[in-house]
Amino acid sequence: MRRLYQKIYLTIIASLVVVVLVAGAIWRFGSSTSPAALSFEIAAEFAAAALPPASAPRSALKEAVNRLAGRLDADVGVFDRKLGLIATAGWPLPPPRQVGPDWSFGRQGATWTFPLPDERWLVVRPHVPRRHPALHLVLFLGVIALGVALCAFPVVRGLTRRIERLQTGVETLGAGNLSARVKVEGRDEVARLAESFNRAAARIEDLVGAHRMLLANASHELRTPLSRIRLGLELFQQNSDPKYKTEVERDIAELDLLIDEILLTSRLDAIGVPQTVEDVDLLALAAEECARYGCAAEGQSAPVGGDPRLLRRLIRNLLENAKRHGKPPMRAEVRSENGTAVLDVLDAGAGVPEAEREQVFAPFHQLGSDAKGVGLGLSLVRRIARLHGGDAVVVPRPDNPSCFRVTLPLVRA
């Protein structure tokens, strides 16, 4: 059996048969105080009450046995303590085996033996179709198995059908259709597995889409400095003017920065958590970076956990963005609010238009036609912030329209 629903289905049926067989065995071979043994005792008491005592004449006993056989529609025989036949009605009956209440099966059908209180034995053989009791048990089990089979099949098949749809979704995703999703049905483990698959598929689609866009935009952005470098080398070979050499060196530095940012963006997409986690004072880190740009860092100490190199890159990109697109003076402010470290980087520029406050964090997005850079700096800022459990947004302040804010979780003492 290679189908899961067949295995589950047959397991249910087999378990039911085992349970019924065990219950039947306990009923058949259980202790003398079982309901069956009690039924034998009650039947023997009623039979003793219907029959005359052992001292009664045989004619009276014969009459009582005939009357009992007629009421029960059975062959009836009474035996004495030495298993001698005293009276009988109907076909001849086998003598009892002196093992207490018992039943046996022969050619004429099932025979039941009852020990009477006065040490006599009553043997009864009902006039019913000659079927072995085991046949009744088999028929009984068959009816139960059929009922369970009819009820269990839709449930089992419905469960495995959802798993088959999930398998189809996985195969579709593996074949390259990144938009493949499966329908979530129910609230059980299979439904949660389908939800996990959909989340994973959406994540894969986003990552592949981001990488495709990154490659497409990177190929375009790489051509610009490469073209300038090629042109600068040709002009330098013709004129040997030092200014061309300086321009080539600047273009090489820009190209190196672009490649570094592309590689860092790709690496951040691949990892889910920072590879190095240390306690970092966000104010001290901001002060070190502000010193490189000739501006001030103000506020209070705010310890955060994360990769110091990535957090330093986050602050540096914000300051570089303020230097390129804003106006002096620049400054950084650090404070703690409700268990969160808040970093504001401000400048005296006009700020980001409201319609583009989310778009500026998209890779390769440039604000305005004369924008400088390649548009990866702020994208890296948000990626690094979210990698550390925070976020980066544009939050204009009344005194400073140009304000970029980063929030990160504080380290709990």
Q: Mind listing the pLDDT tens digit for each residue in 357-403?
A: 998 888 777 665 445 555 678 888 998 999 899 999 999 988 889 99
Average pLDDT score over the chain: 79
Q: Which has the closest alpha carbon to 40: 85, 99, 82, 91? A: 99
CB-based contacts of 362-369 (< 8 A; 24+ apart in sequence): 363/210, 363/213, 363/214, 363/217, 363/265, 364/213, 364/217, 364/221, 367/325
Tell me the pLDDT tens digit for each residue of 184-242.
887 777 788 888 988 888 888 877 776 776 666 666 566 667 777 777 777 777 777 77
Domains annotated on the chain, with CATH: 31-130 (3.30.450), 183-270 (1.10.287), 278-409 (3.30.565.10)
Q: Which pLDDT score is estimated for 314?
A: 92
Q: How far apart are CA 75 and CA 126, in angstroms?
A: 6
Q: Say if CB 279 and CB 411 are below 8 A apart.
A: yes
End-to-end CA distance of the chain: 58
Q: Which percentage of the chain shows pLDDT scores above 90?
A: 18
* Helix, strand, coil percentages for the chain (3-state, nearest 5): 55, 15, 30
The CA-based angle 204-206-207, given to 5 degrees, is 65
CA 229 vs. chain centroid, Å, equals 54
Tell me the pLDDT tens digit for each residue of 10-55.
777 777 777 777 766 766 665 444 455 555 566 666 777 778 887 8
